[in-house]
A = this chain, B = another copy of it.
Amino acid sequence: MTTPTTALCRYTETEIFYRDRNLVGDLMEGGGDFVSLMMSHILGRDVAAHEVRVMNAILITMMEHGLTPSAIATRSVYMSAPENLQGAVAAGLMAVGSQFVGTIENNARLLARLVAVPEADRPALAREIVAEHRAAGRRMPGFGHHLHRPDDPRALKLLEIGAREGLQGGHIAALHTLAQAVDAAAGRHITINATGATAALLGDMDIPVPLMRGFAVISRAAGLVAHIAEEASRPSGRFIWDLVDRAIPFDADGPSGGR
Beta-carbon contact of B94 and A42 below 8 Å: no
How many residues from A make CB contacts under 8 Å with B?
Answer: 131
Instruction: Name the segment of A109-117, A128-136, A174-182, A236-244 touching the other chain.
Output: A236-244
Beta-carbon contact of A84 and B87 below 8 Å: yes
Q: How long is the Cα–Cα vector from A154 to B7 in the complex, in angstroms?
A: 20
Q: How long is the Cα–Cα vector from A30 to B252 in the complex, in angstroms?
A: 22
A166 CB–B CB distance under 8 Å: no
Beta-carbon contact of B211 and A15 below 8 Å: no
Q: How long is the Cα–Cα vector from A96 to B257 in the complex, in angstroms?
A: 20
Q: Which residue of the partner chain, among B8, B13, B210, B226, contacts A8 with CB atoms under 8 Å?
A: B226
Nearest Cβ on chain B to A27's Cβ, whole angstroms: 6
Q: How long is the Cα–Cα vector from A55 to B177 in the complex, in angstroms?
A: 41
Q: Evaluate whether A66 and B9 lie within 8 angstroms (CB atoms) in the complex, with A3-B239, A60-B28, A79-B99 already known.
A: yes
Interface residues of A in 245-259 (CB under 8 A from B): 245, 247-259
Q: How long is the Cα–Cα vector from A83 to B154 in the complex, in angstroms?
A: 27
List 27 A–B pairs whose Cβ atoms lie within 8 Å, in order of A's numbering.
Answer: A6-B67, A6-B230, A6-B250, A8-B230, A13-B149, A14-B151, A31-B53, A33-B33, A33-B35, A33-B56, A42-B225, A42-B257, A43-B258, A44-B233, A69-B79, A70-B76, A77-B97, A79-B99, A81-B84, A84-B87, A85-B211, A85-B217, A88-B94, A91-B91, A211-B228, A233-B259, A244-B244
Binding site for B on A (CB under 8 A): 1, 3-11, 13-16, 18-20, 23-24, 27-29, 31-35, 37-38, 41-45, 53, 55-57, 59-61, 63-70, 72-73, 76-77, 79-100, 102, 147-149, 151, 153-154, 156-158, 161, 208, 210-211, 213-215, 217-219, 221-223, 225-230, 232-245, 247-259
